[in-house]
């Protein structure tokens, strides 16, 4: 039996942020992660300046690709609205590995299946034992399924379905473009260059609305990629996009039971306007760590449910071009 005071299930941004904070507090913690890093993660990889602040680094200190945008091109029902802002894009393949390795926490490659409460702690797959358990396994987190699925009724209205493709190509524009509600899509599509010829394109929307419209996310993908090709933003349409589902912020979720916590997508906390989940994953991970260290309570419900005010605020901090 491997023992640790704290076990975190999942090494995505929520789990590794939590691990990093716990380690800084000098606590005994390990991560159980089903994949070996570096691993691909279906995600556009857009992050706000706040994420870097929370992780205590400047953009210059991030050791991998970090694309900086000083403007985002929004298209609302086809109307072009460029917004001045400061935002970033990372490759999750690199970002997640960097986060987990800087946490300096042992990572065991293990797919968690079964967890039972025993003697005031938790026993995982008859192999690992801990006092505190943190569920950071994303949408299908086993900690959520075993301890929280009865108290938290995830509503289908908050379910997002999204597909993306990240690939190397000669992309033709270095700026970020977002198309909202094109062709009846209940969500938005993105074109997000990452630097060094990496490009992420994708599309996401509310699952229930898509279903009732009779169109699939793939139908929208085909139209969207054709449009990118016609606008000469890409030269060829990439094959085999990858999909994933996750939940937007829902009110009053139970996020702690005894010494078990859930964080990030295991709760479902992406913002309801932009589907931004990395920030909430990092904040909830840090919050859970502080709660375990006895410094603060754990209340991720207090997080903002919107991204747009932050995007607009970030624009005010940029120096005008011709002062
Ligand atoms: C197409 C798409 C685009 C997106 N774009 C953005 C974006 O641009 N910006 C943004 O902020 N958010 C975006 N999101 C949301 C964002 O990806 C998530 O909110 C974020 O990854 C949540 O982090 P997490 O650590 O909670 O979970 P995850 O990143 O899902 O990490 C969970 C980890 O747990 C591991 N795991 C799962 N089950 C087990 C198990 N049984 N045992 C052990 N380990 C397990 C997984 O392998 C994984 O490493 C996007 C989502 C999608 C689907």
Q: Kindly report the protein residue whose alpha carbon is nearest to atom 50 of ligand 1.
A: 43
pLDDT per position as a tens digit, 252-271? 899 999 999 999 999 999 99
Rounded to the nearest angstrom, the distance between the alpha carbon of 76 and the centre of ligand 1 is 27
- What is the DSSP annotation of 96-155? HHHHHHHTT--EEE-----EEEETTEEEETTTEEEEEEEE--GGG-HHIIIIITTT----
Q: What is the mean pLDDT of the chain?
A: 95
Q: Is 94 in the pocket of ligand 1 (CB under 6 A)?
A: no
Q: How many other C-beta atoms lie within 10 A of the C-beta of residue 31? A: 26
Question: d(Cα 261, Cα 92) in Å, to the nearest integer?
Answer: 24
pLDDT per position as a tens digit, 287-322? 999 999 997 889 998 899 999 999 999 988 776 555
Q: Is 281 in the pocket of ligand 1 (CB under 6 A)?
A: yes
Q: Is 246 in the pocket of ligand 1 (CB under 6 A)?
A: yes
Q: Kindly report the protein residue whose alpha carbon is nearest to atom 10 of ligand 1.
A: 276
Q: Is 182 in the pocket of ligand 1 (CB under 6 A)?
A: no
Residue 323 is predicted with a pLDDT of 45
Rounded to the nearest angstrom, the distance between the alpha carbon of 119 and the centre of ligand 1 is 32
In this prediction, residue 92 has a pLDDT band, given cuts at 50, 70 and 90, of very high
Ligand 1: which of 16, 42, 44 to mutate, most ligand atoms within 8 Å of CB?
44
pLDDT per position as a tens digit, 218-228? 999 999 999 99
The alpha carbon of residue 153 and the mean position of all alpha carbons in its chain are separated, in whole angstroms, by 21
pLDDT per position as a tens digit, 112-149? 999 999 999 999 999 999 999 999 999 999 999 999 99
Rounded to the nearest angstrom, the distance between the alpha carbon of 41 and the centre of ligand 1 is 7
Q: Is 14 in the pocket of ligand 1 (CB under 6 A)?
A: yes
Q: Beta strand 187-195 with 198-206: parallel, antiparallel or unpaired?
A: antiparallel
Q: Are 144 and 265 in contact (CB under 8 A)?
A: no
Average pLDDT over residues 1-15: 97
2-46+91-155+247-316 homologous superfamily: FAD/NAD(P)-binding domain (3.50.50.60)
Rounded to the nearest angstrom, the distance between the alpha carbon of 321 and the centre of ligand 1 is 37
Buried b / exposed e along 112-148 (16+ C-beta atoms within 10 A): beebeeeeebbbbeeebbbbbbbbbbbbebbbbebbb
Domain ranges of the chain: 2-46+91-155+247-316
């Amino acid at each position: 039996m491997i023992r640790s005071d704290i076990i975190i299930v999942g090494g995505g941004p929520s789990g590794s942020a939590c691990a990093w904070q716990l380690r800084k507090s000098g606590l005994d913690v390990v991560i159980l992660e089903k994949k070996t890093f570096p691993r691909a993660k279906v995600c556009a990889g857009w992050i706000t300046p706040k994420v870097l602040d929370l992780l205590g680094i400047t953009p210059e200190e991030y050791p991998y690709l970090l694309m900086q945008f000083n403007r985002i091109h929004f298209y609302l029902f086809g109307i072009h609205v460029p917004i001045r802002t400061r935002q970033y894009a990372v490759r999750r393949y690199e970002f997640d590995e960097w986060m987990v390795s800087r946490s300096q926490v042992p990572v065991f490659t293990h797919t968690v299946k079964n967890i039972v409460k025993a003697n005031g702690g938790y026993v995982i797959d008859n192999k690992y034992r801990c006092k505190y358990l943190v569920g950071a396994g994303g949408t299908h987190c086993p900690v959520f399924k075993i301890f929280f699925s009865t108290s938290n009724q995830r509503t289908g209205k908050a379910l997002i379905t999204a597909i993306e493709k990240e690939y190397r190509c000669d992309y033709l524009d270095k700026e970020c473009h977002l198309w909202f509600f094109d062709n009846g899509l209940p969500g938005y599509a993105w074109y997000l260059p990452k630097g060094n010829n990496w490009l992420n394109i994708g599309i996401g929307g509310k699952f229930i609305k898509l279903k009732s419209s009779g169109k699939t996310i793939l139908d929208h993908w085909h139209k969207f990629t054709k449009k990118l090709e016609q606008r000469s933003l890409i030269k060829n349409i990439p094959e085999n996009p990858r999909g994933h589902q996750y939940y937007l912020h829902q009110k009053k979720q139970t996020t702690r039971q005894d010494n078990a916590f859930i964080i990030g997508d295991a709760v479902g906390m992406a913002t309801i306007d932009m589907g931004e989940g990395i920030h909430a994953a990092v904040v909830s991970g840090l919050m859970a760590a502080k709660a375990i260290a006895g410094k603060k309570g754990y209340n991720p419900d207090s997080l903002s449910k919107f991204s747009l005010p932050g995007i607009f605020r970030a624009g005010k901090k940029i120096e005008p071009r011709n002062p």
